[in-house]
Amino acid sequence: MQVLTSENLFKKYPGKEEELRALLNQLGTLTVLPMVDYMATKEFCNTVTDTDGILIIGNHNVIPYAELNNPASDNDPTVASDAPYACMKDSTYLIPDKIIARIPDESEAPTWDYIVTVLNNQITWAKTPTTEVGWFNIVAAVWTPIGQYMHDTFKMNELHLNISPPVTYQTLHPAQYSKKLSYINLHGTLSNGNFYNQIGNTFAVALIPEKGNFEGNLVFTEACYGGNTIGRNKESSIPMMALYSNALGFVASSTIAYGPSSPPVQSADLLASCFFTRILSGQKIGLAFMNAKIDFATKTIQQFGSMNGSARKTLLQFHLFGNPQTMV
């Protein structure tokens, strides 16, 4: 596997370059770009033929997300995306032909404890699959029908679907998060890193970035901005705190995401369904994520004849955070 970062990563952790390089070399073949530059990153990815894929190390100020035109009609001016790094053949960046994943470091007040903990966690997961079993699920009350469909389709072995409200981070306990897979269908916001529920027109905090949650767990969230790491640290990002707490990986969206309130599955729910299907077939998380995007495009075109703006945005906005060589 190719491991890609820039000199900016080492500048954020003065005095730690030798130790940091040693950790990165345990993940794969390391390339360090001289500066934060989208075109240099894209040119590097163009040359990579490693079928194990590319793992980006660092946040937006280390290796930048591409800022793509938003194909959907919503308030996001652009879509922060790693999709161009995965697409060498498709100029629209919708259909990947490479495995791409990212381990973000902290943009704000970066701590050595965070990056060294996350890298050690991810090195270990590539060697040893999780021993956790079962599912954790939580769905906003207004989306109960689609949540129940996903629960029943994947035979999530919770006795019931966790509907929020009444279920929130205040009623959950750590053992409920420590499962093999997680399906989270809640709201997110650009202003902070919390996830929110909804009943009627009322919204409240459902999940927060809390240390210890999602250990040994592979998570897919449909929350809007749930995967926005720009300007974030572990205290303001649920995916980043999850990686710090020894999650296997985390799939999330950088911008406003779409999904139906009831079946049939479309947009984010369809991508989640394709991803979990690939994972349960035994694929490593990077290959499963790449194939899920291809499956999503195929199924969407079969169902609707083409991909509309929200479907195209779905393919651009979701990111895999974690080591793509991890086997669940």
pLDDT band at 210 (very low <50, low <70, confident <90, very high): very high
Q: What is the CATH number of the domain that holds 68?
A: 3.40.50
pLDDT digits (tens, 9 = 90+) for 284-308: 999 999 999 999 999 999 999 999 9
Whether 230 has a pLDDT exceeding 80, the answer reads yes
Asked whether residue 65 is domain-assigned, the answer is: yes
- H or E segment at 78? strand 78-81
Same domain, 67 and 165: no
Whether 144 has a pLDDT exceeding 80, the answer reads yes
Same domain, 23 and 152: no
Same domain, 42 and 6: yes
Which residues make beta-bridge pairs with 56?
A: 4, 102
pLDDT at site 160? 78
- Tokens 């650009």 found at: 190
Structural domains in the chain (count): 2
Same domain, 172 and 83: no
Longest dimension (CA), the chain: 55
Q: Which two tokens stand for residue 288?
A: 């499963």
Mean pLDDT of the chain: 96
pLDDT at site 159? 62
pLDDT at site 260? 92
pLDDT digits (tens, 9 = 90+) for 6-21: 999 999 999 999 999 9
Whether 157 has a pLDDT exceeding 80, the answer reads no
Domain that holds residue 199: 135-322
Same domain, 105 and 51: yes
Of 104, 106, 100, 155, nearest to 133 (Cα)?
Answer: 155
Mean pLDDT, residues 29-55 taken together:
94
Same domain, 226 and 101: no
Number of H helices, E strands in the chain: 11, 15
**Range 153-187 burial, b when 16+ CB lie within 10 A, else e:** ebebeeeebbbbeebbbeebeeebbbbbbbbbbbb
The C-alpha atoms of residue 104 and residue 109 are separated, in whole angstroms, by 13
Mean pLDDT, residues 70-97 taken together:
96
Same domain, 103 and 145: no
Asked whether residue 129 is domain-assigned, the answer is: no
Q: Does the predicted TM-score (pTM) go above 0.95?
A: yes
Q: How far are the Cα atoms of 63, 169, 218 from residue 33, in angstroms, in the given order?
A: 9, 40, 30
Same domain, 308 and 170: yes
What is the amino acid identity at position 149? Answer: Y
Asked whether residue 312 is domain-assigned, the answer is: yes
Same domain, 139 and 77: no
pLDDT at site 98? 96
pLDDT band at 108 (very low <50, low <70, confident <90, very high): confident
Whether 158 has a pLDDT exceeding 90, the answer reads no
Same domain, 203 and 255: yes
CA 282, 84, 50: angle at the middle one, nearest 5? 50
Asked whether residue 127 is domain-assigned, the answer is: no
pLDDT at site 3? 98
pLDDT at site 314? 98
Whether 175 has a pLDDT exceeding 90, the answer reads no
Task: Collect contacts of 258-264 with beta carbons under 8 A, ≥24 apart.
Answer: 258/72, 258/310, 258/313, 258/314, 259/143, 259/146, 259/185, 259/222, 260/146, 261/142, 261/143, 261/145, 261/146, 262/145, 262/146, 262/149, 263/145, 263/146, 263/149, 264/303
Q: Which two tokens stand for residue 293?
A: 């995007």
Same domain, 242 and 203: yes
Domain boundary among 78, 111, 144: 111
Asked whether residue 162 is domain-assigned, the answer is: yes
Same domain, 204 and 288: yes
Q: Omega of the bond prior to 96 within 30 degrees of 0, cis?
A: no
Q: How many CB atoms neighbour CB 33 within 10 A?
A: 18
Mean pLDDT, residues 163-186 taken together:
94
pLDDT at site 60? 97
Asked whether residue 116 is domain-assigned, the answer is: no
Q: How many CB atoms neighbour CB 7 within 10 A?
A: 14
